[in-house]
Amino acid sequence: METGKSHRSSVLSTHVPPSWAANLCGIPQWRVQLGMCSTPIHRWKVPGLPEDVELFIKREDMTGCALSGNKVCKLEFQLAEAIRTGCSVIIGCGGRDSNQCRATAVAARRLGLESHFLIKSGDMDPESLGWQSNMLLQRLVGTHLYMVPVADWTEQNVITRMDRLADDIKKGSGKKSYIIPPSGYDLPGLYGYFSVFQDLISQGLFDKYDDLVGPSAGGAMFAGLAIANHLTGTKIKCHGIEVTYTEETVHHRLQHILVDVGLPEIRSQDIIDVISGYQHVGDDDVQKDYDVVVDVAMATGVILDPHYGARAVRGLLRQVNTNRHRFKGNRLLYIHTGGIFSVYEESMQVYLQKKLGTAGVVPWADGNTVPYSTHA
């Protein structure tokens, strides 16, 4: 009978990097297949888009169901590395409604791995975590959750706690842990975004589009895309709309990544345009983000998450309407990073009930009447 360890090893497949990445450092030898990492592109006419701008969307939200989102291709390399190094536990961190934690938890369980996550918590009552959206899915697959006070939530403190947790798990169970850092970045994961870029190339990236744009929450995804663009001749321009960290923090992280892959001579500022100003969210901003979710869904059928995606689209629309010179051309390709489960948050439901009410709902008790109404 196959043991759990041998079964996990059997899911590994050989990874051959694209030719343009063959001379980089830290090339992973293995990957696992988790999702549909070749996703479609289509035209996207969002409300508020200038008539002379052609916007297209790369549907990274269609990598899977519970495994939807841009994190999936990254996890194919990170979890392969975990298995290769004999780890049976995955440790990560995030907010209560983290897409990263949800995708990691589902992928880990699929591969027979445990998942343990530090959760940034304003309220230390376990009941406050709730049973909605991404948190529901994490609980459904048996994730271990550790609530950390907001006051203690700095990158270094979180790293220290994750290391301490890994040591404790090792002492208590003998199990080895693979730690995904707070930024979500490590070398194996970077190659997941290289694979996304290679998919874009196969879809005509260089001929059909001038600019690549999307949400950035620390820069891991756009680090991969920007480095890949540089290595293939900088034929397009990359823009990350930063919704979490400062522009300086993103460039600092990317500079370290460039060193890690063996490109220390490249300046981060020369390969990516970080669009900042969307990190700090007040009540008015939340309302605007929710409005974007509804407006885009009603107009295009594409569901954005009310945090990263909505904020990034709001930022994109502002830039193309007021700051057009920062773009290389007028053919823009937006990376939809997923996050659909966030629309099931209680706050989003309360907003929708107030905004939409019973619009579109008509009682039809009598089958002999004609219920259609333009005012429904």
Residue with tokens 């874009």: 200
Count the neighbouring beta carbons within 10 Å of the beta carbon of residue 155. Answer: 14
Q: How far is it, in rounded angstroms, from Cα 319 to Cα 27?
A: 36
Return contacts of 17-21, CB within 8 angstroms, 24+ apart.
17/191, 17/194, 18/194, 18/195, 18/198, 18/228, 20/228, 20/231, 20/232, 21/191, 21/194, 21/228, 21/231
Q: How far is it, in rounded angstroms, from Cα 352 to Cα 361?
A: 14
Q: Annotated catalytic sites, by residue? A: 98
Spatial contact of 333 and 56, defined as CB atoms under 8 Å apart: yes
Measured over the CA atoms of residue 125, residue 127, residue 131 and residue 132, the dihedral's sign is: negative
User: End-to-end CA distance of the chain, in Å?
Assistant: 61
Amino acid symbol at 140: L
Amino acid symbol at 269: Q
Spatial contact of 253 and 218, defined as CB atoms under 8 Å apart: yes
Residue 246 DSSP one-character state: -
Of 217, 279, 214, the C-alpha closest to 59 is: 214
Of 186, 191, 177, the C-alpha closest to 83 is: 177
Measured over the CA atoms of residue 33, residue 34, residue 37 and residue 38, the dihedral's sign is: positive
Q: How far is it, in rounded angstroms, from Cα 214 to Cα 101?
A: 20
Residue 324 DSSP one-character state: G
Q: In sequence order, what DSSP letters do the residues of 208-234 get, joined into one string?
A: H-SEEEEEESSSHHHHHHHHHHHHTT-
